[in-house]
Structures are given as C-alpha cells and as structure tokens.
Amino acid sequence: MNILVVDDNTEARKLLAELLTQAGFSVTEAENGKQALEILKNRKNFSLIISDVLMPVMDGFKLCHEVKSDPEISSIPFVFYTGSYISSEDRIFGMNLGADDYIVKPIKFEEFLKRIKEIIHKGEARKGIGEIKLDEFAYLEEYNARLVHKLEDKLIQLNQAYEEIKLKNEELGAINEILTALNSSRDLTHLFKQISKYITKLFNADAVNFYIYDAPNNALNLFYSFLKTGDINPF
C-alpha cells in the first residue's frame, strides 16, 4: 500500500515516513500541497494521503480541496495530521472539505497507525469515503476565516512575547543599575537607598527590608527598611 506524506517540516516528515515504512507501507514524500498535486498527476495509486495543514506554497486545506474536487483522485482517502490548526472549528472545516480524519499531534504512533489502517480499509471497500460538504463560496469563506483566526492567534503570541521581552529588559536594566550603584557608591546609606529603589522598581514592591544574619543565634536581624515613598529607616 502506498501512502503520500505531505509536510514542510523535513524532520517530522521523514520520521513519519520511516515509521510508516517500518509498518509495511511504501511512502512518497512531498514538501507542500503544490508538490503533492504534481506527484498525484503522475501517480494516482495511493491508498492514503496524510497531510499537515500549515505549509508554504499550498497548505493542507487547499490541498484537500483540490484533491476532493478532482474526480481522478477524489477517491483517495485523506487525513490531516497537524499540530498547528487544532481547534474544533479547524477540525470541522477539514472534515467538511472531505477529509476522512483529522488527527491532532501529539498522538501515540500505535493509535495513529490503527486509525489510518481503518481508513485505508474503509477506502478500499467504499472508494472515496470522504465527502465534500461545502460549495465553493462556503469553502472560500470558511478557509479565509481559518486563516484570519490563525493570524489573530499569532498576533496574540507575538504580543505576549513582546511583553515578556520588555519585562526582561526592564529587569536587566534594574540589575545593571544595582551593579552600578554597588561599584560607585561609598556612602552605605546612599548605597542601600539606591539598591532599594531599583528593587522596588524591579519587583513593584512597596517596601524592601535588609537583614543581617546572626549565625551564632541563627537569627535574622532587621538592618534597614526602605519604603516606596523613598524613606529609609535604620535600625
């Protein structure tokens, strides 16, 4: 049985191909949907197409739509195997395109193998079990909606990453100021005040207390207390 594996991630694609080969399948690889269609023009004897969704040139949704719209290859069972488009809306859209299954990563290979074998068996018995449930207009509308949703997710992730980087930069700046104060200040009171000011800024604290460890008595003695107002109370 021949399987066409479509994924732009070379490492992931070759790993899956190797596992399927060890399971007794003959595997052909494609880097994206466009390359997969080129292969399908010359070879139509595939028992199954396994495709990622997020790929350059032509993604998995577009590939599935093209396959299921072509009478010569529409009978080939189609399975999405993705770790990016994982919402219930993504799955529904994929199944409405005519896919026979929508498998989300990660999944144990034993379970994955069981599911694709069942699909291949059903495909051999019924030829073309996947059914397109969207007309061209509905397909384009939902396809664009899926892309916009993914773009929104990416923008949220980028914003979160920006905020994290901004916070890290603020922390590094405060630490640098503390080190500068340690190297430049000769007045102990001024030094503690400067350090406390940067610590309150770094951790958004209302007060900073300095303690001296009394080893013989195993105790902490309060040495300085710095309030956010800027006051230092020596003890």
**Domain positions in the chain:** 2-134, 155-234
Which residue positions in the chain have pLDDT lower than 50?
Answer: 128-129, 235
Quick one: pLDDT at residue 166?
76
> If you search the block for the tokens 């899926």, which residue do you land on?
146
Q: C-alpha angle with apex 21: 14 to 68, nearest 5 degrees?
A: 75
Distance CA 60, CA 35 (A): 12
Q: For position 145, what pLDDT does the model report?
A: 74
Query: pLDDT at position 154, please?
Result: 66
Give me the pLDDT at residue 188, please: 66
In tens, the pLDDT along 127-148 reads: 544 556 667 767 777 777 777 7
> Residue 102: what pLDDT?
97
CA distance 157 to 154: 5
The fourth-level CATH superfamily of domain 2-134 is: Response regulator (3.40.50.2300)
Q: Is 161 exposed, middle or buried (0-12, 13-18, 19+ CB in 10 A)?
A: exposed
CA distance 50 to 229: 64
C-alpha to C-alpha distance for 57 and 123, rounded to whole angstroms: 28
Q: Residue for token digits 């997710």?
A: 153
State pLDDT tens for residues 80-136: 999 988 889 999 999 999 999 999 999 999 999 999 999 998 876 655 445 566 677
- Which residues on neighbouring strands pair with residue 104, listed in sequence order? 82
- The pTM assigned to this predicted structure is 0.63
Selection from 231, 233, 235, 232 nearest residue 222 by Cα: 235
Helix 188-203 vs helix 136-184: crossing angle, to nearest 10: 170
